[in-house]
């Protein structure tokens, strides 16, 4: 009798395990059952499993996206923001985002999650920090459930509006009491700490320039009390550093440390401008970084010192960042960009294709506090990406497993928790064309 969610991935051309020894195998089988990798090896004999022929495929762990704002897929390439710096870009988009509601959050999340899945991502975080017109974090959690993505949504927040000297309009900020109350509700309703969890909620005030010092501190206390993770934007560009020095009288690293925002249960997005002492602080405390190379290029923020962070022992993952500042959300292209950008800064030997892929897989899993995924090994969750290297992108490659140098930019098949959510390049879980059509309708409505 055939068991549900039981697959034998047969004769993979190569398997990049990203396990503790970074083993690579050729002509190899992987047996997945009940959401986990049950066995692996050459010529496995298994009965009752659906066979997935992988002779032309490189198999990697599913990619892990550690920073995103899924709702922004609805405001890609908005003309007024296309060429603006960070703060000007935000000011262009805030009034548009203020018109979002629950459906906009749900559909835009489905689009962003499907885009990630098709590019090899099996686990993503999201940072939603505005809740206009009845929108809730729950709208994105339900979207992840329809797509079948492993999801770490974070309860973002902004509390300092324009009238208090902040950047966002007053209509997009919330009271700090409500923010904390809603974070508690979300954790109690959705957070699952167990092995194999499909939803883990984090607490994530938007940035030091949009909430008070009190909220940062209270958020850290709440997160530790509930054993959930903390996330925010930090040290994104020069304006950000200048703001920190002028407003708090210290650099962002010091600000974070003073408020309890360091530790292995914390990860910060960007960190483009961390200096040597901040890198040392992050390494010592195992504070994670979500490196977002395309967004950093797009907004002209600079090149994050990823080589120095990795050498010092800082946990680093990758993030596509919001789709309004990238404006794409392709995870494997993000990994390629990470590799290229470190070479721009430090030379051609600064980061290999395999190291960038490692950051995109086990690196991201570490940043998100997951020791049950991010690598291919028996007992790990069955989150796998199959890349067909028989196409034009790999033709002539002497090392098809060096995917980030020459390889496909979308997956043939994707498994999340042992479930095949992409098959032959198509989503199996949602009517993708219907979702795209609705997204475009909503975008046209917002543009009027």
Q: Exposed (0-12), middle (13-18) or buried (19+): which is 342, by Cβ within 10 Å?
A: buried
Rounded distance between C-alpha atoms, residue 32 and residue 59, angstroms: 13
The CB-of-385 to Zn ion minimum distance in angstroms stands at: 24
The CB-of-364 to Zn ion minimum distance in angstroms stands at: 15
The CB-of-69 to Zn ion minimum distance in angstroms stands at: 6
Nearer to Zn ion, 11 or 65 (CB): 65
DSSP state of 272: T
- Give the interface size with Zn ion as a residue count (CB under 5 A): 1
Closest to 271 (Cα-Cα) out of 230, 311, 319, 227: 319
Nearer to Zn ion, 148 or 166 (CB): 166
Mask for 304-333, x = binds Zn ion (CB under 5 A): -----------------x------------
Closest to 417 (Cα-Cα) out of 66, 150, 195, 19: 150
Residue 94 corresponds to which tokens in the numbers above? Answer: 């805030």
The CB-of-296 to Zn ion minimum distance in angstroms stands at: 11
The CB-of-218 to Zn ion minimum distance in angstroms stands at: 22
Q: Exposed (0-12), middle (13-18) or buried (19+): which is 46, by Cβ within 10 Å?
A: middle
The CB-of-59 to Zn ion minimum distance in angstroms stands at: 30
Q: How many CA atoms lie within 13 A of 86 on its CB side?
A: 22
Contact assessment for residue 309 and residue 289, using Cβ atoms and an 8 Å cutoff: yes
User: Got the DSSP string for 382-442?
Assistant: --EEEEE-SSGGGTT-S-TT-TTTS--SS-SEEEETTEEEEETTEESSS-HHHHHHHHHHH
Nearer to Zn ion, 72 or 429 (CB): 72
The CB-of-327 to Zn ion minimum distance in angstroms stands at: 13
The CB-of-319 to Zn ion minimum distance in angstroms stands at: 7
User: Got the DSSP string for 324-386?
Assistant: TSSS---HHHHHHHHHHHHHHHH-TTS--HHHHHHIIIIIHHHHTT-SSSSS--TTSB--EEE
Nearer to Zn ion, 59 or 135 (CB): 135
Cα 102 off chain centre by: 22
Nearer to Zn ion, 139 or 321 (CB): 321
Per DSSP bridges, beta strands 413-416 and 419-423 are: antiparallel
Query: Is residue 327 reached through a cis peptide bond, with omega within 30 degrees of 0 on the bond before it?
Result: yes
The CB-of-236 to Zn ion minimum distance in angstroms stands at: 8
The CB-of-337 to Zn ion minimum distance in angstroms stands at: 16
Contact assessment for residue 343 and residue 356, using Cβ atoms and an 8 Å cutoff: no
Q: Name residues contacting Zn ion, limited to 67-96 (CB under 5 A).
A: none
CA dihedral 19, 61, 335, 57 (to 10 degrees): 110
CA dihedral 38, 41, 47, 50 (to 10 degrees): 80
CB-nearest residue to Zn ion: 321
Closest to 121 (Cα-Cα) out of 328, 299, 288: 328
Residues that bind Zn ion (CB under 5 A): 321
């Amino acid at each position: 009798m055939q068991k549900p969610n039981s697959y034998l991935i047969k004769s993979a051309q190569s398997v990049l395990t990203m396990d503790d020894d970074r083993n690579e195998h050729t002509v190899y089988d992987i047996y997945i059952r009940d959401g986990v990798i049950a066995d692996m090896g050459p010529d496995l004999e298994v009965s009752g499993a659906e066979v997935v022929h992988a002779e032309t495929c490189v198999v990697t762990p599913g990619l892990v996206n550690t920073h995103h704002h899924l709702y922004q897929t609805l405001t890609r390439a908005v003309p007024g923001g296309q060429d603006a710096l960070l703060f000007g870009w935000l000011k262009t988009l805030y009034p548009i985002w203020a018109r979002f509601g629950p459906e906009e959050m749900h559909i835009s999340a489905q689009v962003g999650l499907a885009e990630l899945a098709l590019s090899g991502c099996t686990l993503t975080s999201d940072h939603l920090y505005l809740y206009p017109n009845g929108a809730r974090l729950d709208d994105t959690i339900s979207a992840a459930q329809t797509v079948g993505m492993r999801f770490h949504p974070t309860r973002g927040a902004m509390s300092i509006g324009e009238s208090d000297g902040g950047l966002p309009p007053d209509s997009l900020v919330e009271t700090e009491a409500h923010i904390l109350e809603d974070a508690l509700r979300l954790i109690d309703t959705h957070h699952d700490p167990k092995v194999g969890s499909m939803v883990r909620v984090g607490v994530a005030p938007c940035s030091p320039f949009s909430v008070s010092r009190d909220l940062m501190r209270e958020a850290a206390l709440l997160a530790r009390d509930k054993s959930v993770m903390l996330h925010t934007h930090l040290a994104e560009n020069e304006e950000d550093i200048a703001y920190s020095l002028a407003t708090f009288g210290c650099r962002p690293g010091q600000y974070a440390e003073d408020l309890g925002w360091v530790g292995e249960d914390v990860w910060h997005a960007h960190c483009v401008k961390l200096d040597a002492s901040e890198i040392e602080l992050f390494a010592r405390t195992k504070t994670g970084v979500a490196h977002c190379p395309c967004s950093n290029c797009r907004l002209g923020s600079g090149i994050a010192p990823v080589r120095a962070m990795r050498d010092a022992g800082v946990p680093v993952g990758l993030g596509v960042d919001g789709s309004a500042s990238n404006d794409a959300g392709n995870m494997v292209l993000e990994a390629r960009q990470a590799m290229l950008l470190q070479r721009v800064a430090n030379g051609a030997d600064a980061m290999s294709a395999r190291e960038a892929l490692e950051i995109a897989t086990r690196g991201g899993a570490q940043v998100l506090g997951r020791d049950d995924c991010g690598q291919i090994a028996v007992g790990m969750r069955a989150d796998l990406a199959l890349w067909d290297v028989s196409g034009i992108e790999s033709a002539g490659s002497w090392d098809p497993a060096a995917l980030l140098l020459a390889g496909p930019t979308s997956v043939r098949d994707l498994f999340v928790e042992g479930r095949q959510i992409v098959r032959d390049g198509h989503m199996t879980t949602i009517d993708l064309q219907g979702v795209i059509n609705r997204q475009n309708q909503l975008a046209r409505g917002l543009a009027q």
